[in-house]
Amino acid sequence: MTATAHTIIRNAPAPFDGDIALDYEGRLLRRKRLSFDGGHFMVDLPEVTSLDDGDAFELSDGRQIVVRAAPEPVIEIRGNLARLAWHIGNRHTPCRIEADRLIIRQDHVMEAMLKQLGANVIRKDIPFRPEGGAYGHGRTFGHDHGPADHAHSHPHGAGEQAPGHASAHSHAHGQASAHSHADGHSHASGHNHASAHSHSHSHSHSHSDTGTGHADGGHAGDGHDQTDKASHGHGHDHPAHDHA
């Protein structure tokens, strides 16, 4: 009978009953069959989970299989690290930050940009362990979202669109406004005011978003198609009034 892992032990203490090497993409999973030197097991977690080097799968038969970060193609970056890190973060790219270097996964577009910014870049094959989320675990998703593909857009500067994103948005706004004012004043023994106001506004919105499809460990997710249309029209008329 195949053992199943329903639980992850964070930063698990030794001893372990085996280890499994997974690259950055492989360490994001929910349901998947994994093999290691001691056999194989099924991962069946409650939700998509990001694993770190040193976490362990707790199997249904009591064994603990520790996760190790596998070597993969990365770029080692040196130079003005504060400036380079800002541009990398502006692209939502996962990054490892060290005292004298930055490390990202190999990406020819990012590599060309970094060279233009004056960075020294070297391609290497080493384990990639980027910074985690705000609470220590999780991920900063960039243009490659692992097991999920999303159709949307991020503005990355004037006229720039992130690679790997598709987006269809349509906005139509029509606004018409008309104002008419007539005021008369007579300063003898009283006041006479005649004022008329008319306002008309029209707005139309049309949104068409392509759905999202998720594939994770052989499971296909949902597709969503949404068409949202709203129209608003309102007018105001104020009759003239006299004061004596």
Q: What share of the chain is helix, strand, coil (3-state, %, to 5)?
A: 10, 40, 50
Across the range 109-135, mean pLDDT stands at 92
Assess whether 205 and 228 both reside in one domain: yes
Query: Where would I find the beta strands (DSSP E) of 98-196?
Result: 102-105, 120-127, 148-149
Q: Per-residue pLDDT tens for 29-58? A: 999 999 999 899 999 999 999 999 999 999
Q: Is residue 15 part of a domain?
A: yes
Instruction: Give the contacts of 179 (CB within 8 A, at least 6 positions apart).
Output: 197, 198, 199
Q: Which domain holds residue 18?
A: 4-69
Alpha helix (H) residue ranges in the chain: 81-90, 108-116
How far apart are alpha carbons 157 and 162 in whole angstroms? 10
Q: Is residue 211 part of a domain?
A: yes
Assess whether 81 and 118 both reside in one domain: yes
What are the φ/ψ torsions at residue 115 (nearest 5 degrees)?
Answer: -65, -40
Instruction: Determine the pLDDT at residue 1.
Output: 86
Given the DSSP bridges, would you call strands 219-220 and 213-216 parallel, antiparallel or unpaired?
antiparallel
Q: Per-residue pLDDT tens for 144-174? A: 444 443 334 444 444 444 443 333 343 434 3
Q: Is residue 55 part of a domain?
A: yes
Domain of 53: which CATH number? 2.60.260.20
Counting the structural domains of the chain, the total is 3
Assess whether 16 and 55 both reside in one domain: yes
Across the range 118-136, mean pLDDT stands at 87
Q: Is residue 132 part of a domain?
A: no
Instruction: Determine the pLDDT at residue 140.
Output: 59
Q: Is residue 238 part of a domain?
A: no
Least confident range from 76-80, 127-131, 134-138, 224-228: namely 224-228
With 0-12 / 13-18 / 19 or more C-beta atoms within 10 angstroms meaning exposed / middle / buried, residue 215 is exposed
Q: Is residue 16 part of a domain?
A: yes
How far apart are alpha carbons 203 and 171 in whole angstroms? 10
Q: Is residue 48 part of a domain?
A: yes
Nearest to 89 by CA among 164, 167, 23, 154: 154
Q: Is residue 13 part of a domain?
A: yes
Instruction: Give the contacts of 116 (CB within 8 A, at least 6 positions apart).
Output: none
- Average confidence score pLDDT of the chain: 72
Domain of 94: which CATH number? 3.30.70.790
pTM: 0.57
CA dihedral 109, 110, 116, 117 (to 10 degrees): 160
- Whether residue 235 is predicted with pLDDT greater than 60 in this model: the reply is no
Assess whether 81 and 64 both reside in one domain: no
Assess whether 9 and 62 both reside in one domain: yes
Nearest to 89 by CA among 41, 141, 165, 164: 141
DSSP bridge pairs for 219? 216
Q: What is the sign of the dihedral through the CA atoms of 19, 55, 27 and 111?
A: negative
Place of tokens 């029509």: 174
Assess whether 114 and 81 both reside in one domain: yes
Considering 69, 86, 119, which residue would you say is the last residue of a domain? Answer: 69
Q: Per-residue pLDDT tens for 190-233? A: 444 444 444 444 444 444 444 434 434 333 334 444 444 434 44
Q: pLDDT category, 92, cuts 50, 70, 90?
A: very high
Instruction: Determine the pLDDT at residue 22.
Output: 98
Q: What percent of the chain has pLDDT over 70?
A: 54
